């Protein structure tokens, strides 16, 4: 059986040892597919989970430092562009719905096109936000395994494991003498991005030292609000956060989920659309769900795509921040 996924999704769902149900059978990924006389593309990277920042460079090039200044060891990832394979063992009927073992996390790397200008949103007491118009941007999606411990991938046969093995067999059940390398799985693509930087300072008690948590919450609410306003499924859009802005909140990076871009995020350049998206975002976190303000649920901020940040997402601080922005945006009378 052949299963197809966009590589953005596949590096999480098809990662070695992950299981999924298809054709009324439970399949387990055994490793990465190898193609004769061709190699996977490999990259070096550093990632700061605290600030959601990532830098990438080619193997053999000088290493790069993180823009936030945090000192993080360099790591490697491979791009499994040839796909994944299961073992030759016959699949079994599923006993229960398999648990998703691995999450993926998107990172904004850099702009891949010329700047197109900015739109400044002013409020009662000054500047509220800056919208940087849509340009092509390069993003990376990373799957680092359980608790970011990476995977052990055989360079000879492609077999993959979550723990180092003294010896292993290929997907075809023959002995392999290949070397296991500790790597993550990654995917890079270019799509349309719009960057939104808020300038209003958050209340100190709503940050508690975790600016990225509040930033991710605002970003998620804005994404869902925009999807409602422009009348598209939220899966057609995605969002991540980048460097810290003027209010220490991270810059929000909205992007089209389709590689190459579909022009969807560019609609938020319309100030009225942006305002309506914020209003829809506020309604989402206002309290219509059943979670408390110091947590979140799938009715407000949590989603399948942001599982990596569920413990950071708190509905109350997001509601108060977006509410303050909207209040400051009210016209003077």
DSSP string, 82-114: T-EEE-SSPPB--SSPPPP----EEEEEEE-S-
**pLDDT per residue over 244-273, tens digit each?**
888 889 999 999 987 666 788 999 999 999
Considering the domain delimited by 109-140+189-329, tell me its CATH architecture: 2-Layer Sandwich (3.30)
Residue 242 CA to residue 327 CA, distance in Å, equals: 26
With 0.95 as the threshold, say if the pTM is over it.
no
Q: Report pLDDT digits (tens) over 144-196.
A: 999 899 999 999 999 999 999 999 999 999 999 999 999 999 999 999 999 99
| Euclidean distance between CA atoms 250 and 309, whole angstroms | 15
Q: What is the pLDDT along the chain (333 residues), one digit of tens a residue?
A: 454 557 888 898 889 999 888 778 888 899 999 998 899 999 999 999 888 999 999 999 999 999 888 999 999 999 999 999 988 778 888 777 766 678 899 999 998 877 888 999 998 888 999 999 999 999 999 999 998 999 999 999 999 999 999 999 999 999 999 999 999 999 999 999 999 999 999 999 998 878 889 999 999 999 999 999 999 988 889 999 998 888 889 999 999 987 666 788 999 999 999 999 999 999 999 988 889 999 999 999 999 889 889 999 999 999 999 999 999 997 644
In sequence order, what are the residues at sequence separation of 6 or more whose Cβ sits closer than 8 angstroms to the Cβ of residue 50?
A: 68, 70, 212
Q: How far is the C-alpha of 201 from the C-alpha of 211, rounded, in Å? A: 11
């Amino acid at each position: 059986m052949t299963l197809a996924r966009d590589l953005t999704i596949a590096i999480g769902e098809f990662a070695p040892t992950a299981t999924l149900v298809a054709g009324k059978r439970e399949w387990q990924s055994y490793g990465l597919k190898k193609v004769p006389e061709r190699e996977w593309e490999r990259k070096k990277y550093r990632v700061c989970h605290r600030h959601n920042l990532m830098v990438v460079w080619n193997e053999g090039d000088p290493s790069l430092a993180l823009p936030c200044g945090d000192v993080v060891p360099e790591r490697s990832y491979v791009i499994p562009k040839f796909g994944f394979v299961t073992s030759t063992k016959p699949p079994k009927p599923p006993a229960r719905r398999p648990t998703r073992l691995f999450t993926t996390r998107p990172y904004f790397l850099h702009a891949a096109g010329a700047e197109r200008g900015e739109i400044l949103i002013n409020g009662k007491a000054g500047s509220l936000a800056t919208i940087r118009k849509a340009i092509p941007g390069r993003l990376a999606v990373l799957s680092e395994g359980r608790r970011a411990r990476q995977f052990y991938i055989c360079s000879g046969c492609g077999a993959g494991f979550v723990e180092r093995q003294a010896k292993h067999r290929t997907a075809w059940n023959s002995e392999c003498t290949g070397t296991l390398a500790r790597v993550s799985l990654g995917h890079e693509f270019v799509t349309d991005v719009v960057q939104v930087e808020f300038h209003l300072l958050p209340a100190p008690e709503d940050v508690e030292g975790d600016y990225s948590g509040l930033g991710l919450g605002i970003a998620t609410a804005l994404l869902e609000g925009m999807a409602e306003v422009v009348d598209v499924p939220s899966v057609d859009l995605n969002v991540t956060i980048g460097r810290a802005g003027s209010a220490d909140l991270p810059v929000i990076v909205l992007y089209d989920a389709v590689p190459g871009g579909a022009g969807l995020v560019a609609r938020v350049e319309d100030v009225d659309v942006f305002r309506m998206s914020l209003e829809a975002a506020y309604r989402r976190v206002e309290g219509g769900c059943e979670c408390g303000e110091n947590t979140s649920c799938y009715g407000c901020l949590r989603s399948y795509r942001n599982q990596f940040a569920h413990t950071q997402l708190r509905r109350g601080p997001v509601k108060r921040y977006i509410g303050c922005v909207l209040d400051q945006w009210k016209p003077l009378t």
